Amino acid sequence: MAVQQRVSSLRIVDGEDETVLSLDSIQGSWSEEQYLTMTDHSRRLMEFDAGVVELLPMPAPEHQKILAYLYRSFFTFLETLGGIVLFSPLRVRVRPGKFREPDLAVLRDANDPRQLKRYWLGVDLAVEVVSDDDPERDTKLKRAEYAEAGIPEYWIVNPLDETITVLTLADGAYNELGVFQRGERASSTLLAGFSVSVDEVFNAK
């Protein structure tokens, strides 16, 4: 069986998409362990906040092409430095009672002890490709959450306006290193020497 959500409805369905059990009545009362157990046995992207399980939409092919290009770029750069980059689904605990699944999660040290068996306790750099179903989730909500979590660098890759915003953490808030457009290269301060062509990111096949 699979877990699905339509609008605000969370339910368990059978192979014919028939509801087996509605879970709406327990939204707000899930424990972390229940969330982890459910996501251990699901193919859906799910995030978690204060007892509420949030199902994310299936990524569009354009989103996945951009993500694949960025993953290859980060992987190639980090491989020689002893770092690691992984792509969702990957649960990251940004604070007690809240889990996010960044599109890309980077650690500069592949042996970083924050890599627990079931989830990570933090990342050095997070990347989100903005989804058109709810752009503010990535551009505003996660920007605030990742700053609160102390993630040093956050990249917002926005296919809607073809920009890459690179944010760096200072005094608990993000400052814009730059909003990079076509014809430019988006660069990192955390990963000295790393940059990507904005054109190549949004032309990814």
pLDDT digits (tens, 9 = 90+) for 92-139: 999 998 999 999 999 999 999 999 999 999 999 999 999 888 899 999
64 pLDDT above the threshold of 60: yes
Please write down the HEC assignment for all residues of the chain.
CEEEEECCEEEEECCCCCEEEECHHHCCCCCHHHHHHHHHCCCCCEEEECCEEEECCCCCHHHHHHHHHHHHHHHHHHHCCCCEEEECCCCEEEECCEEECCCEEEECCCCCCCECCCCECCCCEEEEECCCCCHHHHHHHHHHHHHHCCCCEEEEEECCCCEEEEEEEECCEEEEEEEECCCCEEECCCCCCCEEEHHHHHCCC
Q: Domain total for the chain?
A: 2
Kindly state whether residues 42 and 128 are assigned to the same domain. Answer: no
Least-confidence region, from 3-7, 173-177, 201-205: 3-7
The domain in which residue 23 lies consists of 2-55
Kindly state whether residues 39 and 72 are assigned to the same domain. Answer: no
Kindly state whether residues 91 and 147 are assigned to the same domain. Answer: yes
pLDDT digits (tens, 9 = 90+) for 70-99: 999 999 999 999 999 999 889 999 999 899
Kindly state whether residues 114 and 31 are assigned to the same domain. Answer: no
Kindly state whether residues 44 and 76 are assigned to the same domain. Answer: no
Kindly state whether residues 108 and 132 are assigned to the same domain. Answer: yes
Kindly state whether residues 178 and 139 are assigned to the same domain. Answer: yes
Kindly state whether residues 172 and 91 are assigned to the same domain. Answer: yes
Kindly state whether residues 50 and 119 are assigned to the same domain. Answer: no
Q: Mean per-residue pLDDT for 148-177?
A: 97
Kindly state whether residues 146 and 191 are assigned to the same domain. Answer: yes
Last residue of some domain: 10, 32, 55?
55
